């Protein structure tokens, strides 16, 4: 099958103006030659990202994120390179052969995904047989239609414990591979379906690949767990996935928010009722990986966890973690029923939407939570509560929020506003001591040689005349990394008869050893003036440093040499180098 070529990818990039593409996601303001915007890749409160129309690259001066139009879309949309190419092409109205795109994608875990897809189809087909009648009745009673069953891949694992095993065996998949992906268990030499006698729900990774299953009983069975979930495997890492993430992503963009619930049945119920910007934790605590998935959506997060003590506690801890990562957090606390699924079945979707349209700001939720288990008519409890509120306010930079909170405390509890402000200052001092700058990246220090070598490589990315100047006047770097990048630049130019930073970034996107260094070089050179005269200055500096380093090495060699003839040769070489120096 044909694949999309580098020439076709570069053609798409050349037709796609980075200003237009970035501007379709984030508002841009022109400042001189470049455009500025708030960086979407870190908690940015003032514009720190620069987009160059001239060089077709972007750079964040705070977090260091750099790249071309494909890199931006990759990072913003959280997709692979080829998917980013397709998105850019679509935005520019460029027709592209999807078969070519698919053939470019590297299929990792291909056999494992084939097994999981076949298993899902097998389970779904079971629902349509005579053995699936009871399960279908159960689903229909829960308000789950055939369309929903199809959308979410819901199926049935039969009573026959080895039916899945025998099917996969006929398809030439080994028992070891079935064990590896968590579909079967082995007891006394027999192979059993992990999810037998249960309704099955596939679990997906962020890209929509089936990585596991959750299975629920549907008959009155005693002494058995309601749910059985896939164990952790090479495909399935519970803490790295959010249920329904790949379905929800496109609706999240429209709604400008993502709703986070606990169980996958909550997510399915909301989706049935048309609320599709929803993901499920399949638990209560957000992991670092799940928070990163939410950050990549670039929208506000609405926490709607179960209506019990565990759900309330989890709302508090998860909300704090999300705030630390710079997300905008809101909270819905439903009353009456245990979870969104039961709430909607009992009260209807309009009641839920009324809550959804009026969520609490996380700060208000936390202030209310702090009243929990306190009798505010008692002096000690009231003092503890007020101090806890002031401690929370001390972490805020929103002067209006601070002022309103202080006035409310003063009015509600007949406290002096001046006393509250004085106490707040004490908490502010503690916060200032604890603050650490996290936005700015820590870069390794570079000496004069490395800085000048970076500049030479950047100049080489700006045209063949700079490559010729390097080959004529230097032609070599002492260190392996710069030498490798220079060779890649020369190779790229010879094969394409053209070069620019934006296209070269695409070229090195899969070259792990040099990609990060190239990004840093482009980032640091983005606003530089480029001329042969300036480049020659860097070449002269690098040449002198390399000569000086060579002399030092020879002096050490001379000191350790015992052979008189070899010493003479070393001295002659030192003399020659000093003339050059």
Task: Give phi and psi for 401, each to the nearest 5.
Answer: -60, -45
Residue 442: per-residue pLDDT: 45
Give 343's Cβ-side CA count (13 Å radius): 26
Interval 538-554 mean pLDDT: 85
Interval 16-36 mean pLDDT: 92
Q: Are 262 and 281 in contact (CB under 8 A)?
A: yes
Using DSSP bridges, classify how beta strands 190-193 and 184-187 pair: parallel, antiparallel or unpaired.
antiparallel
Q: Edge-to-edge strand order for the sheet containing 300-303? A: 278-280, 257-261, 300-303, 329-331, 360-361
Residue 523: count other Cβ atoms within 10 Å of its Cβ. Answer: 21
Residue 577: per-residue pLDDT: 66
- Tell me how far CA of residue 239 lies from CA of 127, 216, 321, 398, in angstroms: 30, 20, 15, 33
| pTM for this predicted structure | 0.71
Angle, helices 6-15 vs 81-91, to 10°: value is: 40
Tokens of 514: 């040099």
Beta bridge partners of 257: 300
Q: Are 569 and 498 in contact (CB under 8 A)?
A: no
Interval 224-251 mean pLDDT: 90
List, in order, residues 6 or more apart from 15 with CB less than 8 Å away: 92, 94
- Residue 464: is its pLDDT beyond 70? yes
Residue 159: per-residue pLDDT: 83
Query: CA-CA distance, 74 to 528, in Å (whole number)?
Result: 26
For the domain made up of 110-236, the CATH class stated in words is alpha beta
Angle, helices 480-496 vs 6-15, to 10°: value is: 90
Task: Give phi and psi for 222, each to the nearest 5.
Answer: -90, 160
Confidence band (pLDDT; 50, 70, 90) for 318?
very high
Q: Are 277 and 294 in contact (CB under 8 A)?
A: no
Residue 433: per-residue pLDDT: 52
Residue 431: per-residue pLDDT: 56
Query: CA-CA distance, 575 to 580, in Å (whole number)?
Result: 9
Tokens of 396: 């805020």
Identify the weakest region by mean pLDDT among 100-104, 164-168, 330-334, 349-353: 100-104
Looking at the structure, give the CATH architecture of the domain made up of residues 6-104: Alpha-Beta Complex (3.90)
Q: Are 433 and 448 in contact (CB under 8 A)?
A: no
Residue 436: per-residue pLDDT: 44
Q: Are 461 and 489 in contact (CB under 8 A)?
A: yes
Residue 566: per-residue pLDDT: 79
Q: Which helix (H) or strand (E) holds 193?
A: strand 190-193
Identify the weakest region by mean pLDDT among 42-56, 337-351, 365-379, 556-570: 556-570
- Residue 290: is its pLDDT beyond 90? yes
- Residue 331: is its pLDDT beyond 90? yes
Looking at the structure, give the CATH architecture of the domain made up of residues 448-577: Orthogonal Bundle (1.10)
Interval 526-543 mean pLDDT: 91
Query: CA-CA distance, 564 to 561, in Å (whole number)?
Result: 8
Identify the weakest region by mean pLDDT among 194-203, 254-263, 557-566: 557-566
Check the CA dihedral 445-447-452-453 and report its sign: negative
- Residue 429: is its pLDDT beyond 80? no
pLDDT in tens, 439-455: 444 455 688 899 999 99
Residue 98: per-residue pLDDT: 63
* DSSP code at position 340: H
Residue 100: per-residue pLDDT: 59
Tokens of 293: 């998935």
Instruction: Please provide the average confidence, as pLDDT, over all residues in the chain.
Output: 88
Residue 466: per-residue pLDDT: 95
Task: Give phi and psi for 114, each to the nearest 5.
Answer: -60, -45
Helix (H, G, I), strand (E, B) or coil at 279: strand
Helix (H, G, I), strand (E, B) or coil at 87: helix
Per-domain residue ranges for the chain?
6-104, 110-236, 240-367, 370-434, 448-577
Tokens of 310: 């565990």
pLDDT in tens, 467-508: 999 999 998 898 889 999 999 999 999 988 999 999 999 998
Q: Do domains 110-236 and 448-577 have the same CATH topology?
A: no
% residues pLDDT > 70 (the chain):
94
Interval 265-277 mean pLDDT: 96
Residue 578: per-residue pLDDT: 72
Identify the weakest region by mean pLDDT among 81-95, 120-134, 199-213: 81-95
- Residue 421: is its pLDDT beyond 90? no
Angle, helices 564-580 vs 532-560, to 10°: value is: 160
Residue 129: count other Cβ atoms within 10 Å of its Cβ. Answer: 10
Confidence band (pLDDT; 50, 70, 90) for 99?
low
Helix (H, G, I), strand (E, B) or coil at 371: coil
Query: CA-CA distance, 100 to 3, in Å (whole number)?
Result: 5
Tokens 């909550």 found at: 266
Helix (H, G, I), strand (E, B) or coil at 203: strand
- Residue 1: is its pLDDT beyond 60? no
- Residue 30: is its pLDDT beyond 90? yes
Beta bridge partners of 331: 303, 360
Confidence band (pLDDT; 50, 70, 90) for 222?
confident
| E strand intervals along 339-474 | 360-361
CATH number for 240-367 (one of 3.40.1360.10, 3.40.50.1010, 3.30.420.40, 1.10.8.60): it is 3.40.1360.10
Nearest CA to 47 among 57, 56, 59?
A: 59
């Amino acid at each position: 099958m044909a694949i999309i070529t580098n020439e076709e990818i570069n053609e798409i990039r050349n037709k796609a103006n980075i200003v237009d593409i970035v501007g379709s996601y984030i508002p841009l303001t022109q400042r001189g030659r470049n455009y500025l915007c708030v960086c979407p890749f870190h908690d940015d409160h003032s514009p720190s990202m620069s987009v160059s129309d001239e060089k077709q690259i972007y750079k964040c001066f705070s977090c260091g994120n750099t790249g071309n139009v494909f890199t931006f879309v990759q990072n913003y949309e959280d997709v692979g390179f080829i998917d980013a190419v397709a998105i850019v092409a679509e935005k520019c109205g460029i027709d592209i052969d999807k078969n070519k795109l698919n053939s470019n994608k590297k299929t990792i875990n291909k056999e494992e995904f084939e097994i999981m897809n076949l298993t899902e189809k097998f389970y779904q087909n079971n629902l349509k047989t005579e053995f699936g009648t009871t399960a279908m009745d159960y689903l229909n009673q829960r308000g789950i239609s055939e369309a929903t069953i199809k959308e979410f891949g819901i199926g049935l694992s039969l009573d026959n414990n080895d039916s899945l095993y025998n099917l996969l065996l006929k398809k030439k998949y080994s028992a070891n591979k079935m064990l590896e992906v968590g579909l079967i268990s082995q007891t006394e030499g027999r192979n059993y379906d992990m999810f037998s006698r249960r309704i099955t729900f596939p679990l997906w990774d962020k890209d929509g690949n089936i990585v596991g299953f959750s299975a629920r009983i549907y008959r009155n069975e005693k002494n058995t767990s309601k749910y059985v979930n896939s164990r952790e495997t090479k495909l399935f890492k519970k803490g790295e996935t959010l249920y329904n993430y790949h379905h929800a992503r496109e609706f999240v963009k429209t709604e400008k928010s993502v709703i986070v619930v606990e169980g996958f049945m909550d997510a399915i119920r909301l989706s049935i009722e048309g609320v599709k910007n929803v993901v499920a934790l399949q638990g209560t605590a957000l992991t670092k990986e799940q928070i990163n998935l939410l950050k990549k959506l670039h929208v506000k997060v609405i926490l709607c966890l179960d209506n019990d003590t565990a759900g309330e506690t989890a709302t508090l801890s998860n909300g704090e973690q999300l705030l630390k990562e710079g997300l905008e957090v809101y909270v819905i606390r439903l009353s009456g029923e245990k979870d969104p699924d039961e709430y909607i079945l009992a009260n209807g979707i309009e009641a839920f939407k009324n809550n959804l349209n009026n969520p609490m700001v996380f700060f208000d939720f936390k202030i209310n939570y702090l009243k929990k288990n306190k009798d505010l008519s008692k002096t000690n409890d009231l003092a503890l509560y007020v101090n806890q509120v002031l401690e929370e306010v001390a972490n805020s930079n929103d002067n209006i929020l601070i002022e309103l909170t202080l006035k409310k405390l003063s009015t509600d509890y007949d406290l002096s506003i001046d006393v509250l402000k004085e106490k707040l200052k004490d908490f502010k001092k503690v916060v200032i001591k604890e603050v650490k700058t996290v936005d700015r990246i820590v870069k390794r220090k570079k000496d004069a040689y490395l800085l000048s070598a970076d500049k030479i490589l950047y100049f080489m990315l700006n045209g063949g005349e700079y490559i010729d100047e390097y080959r004529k006047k230097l032609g070599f770097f002492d260190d392996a990394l710069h030498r490798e990048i220079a060779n890649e630049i020369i190779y790229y130019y010879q094969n394409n008869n053209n070069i620019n930073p934006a296209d070269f970034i695409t070229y090195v996107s899969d070259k792990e050893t040099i990609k990060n260094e190239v990004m840093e070089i482009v980032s640091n050179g983005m606003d530089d003036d480029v001329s042969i005269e300036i480049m020659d200055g860097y070449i002269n500096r690098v040449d002198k440093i390399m000569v000086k380093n060579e002399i030092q090495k020879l002096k050490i060699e001379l000191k350790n040499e015992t052979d008189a003839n070899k010493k003479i040769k070393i001295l002659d070489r030192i003399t020659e180098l000093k003339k050059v120096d």
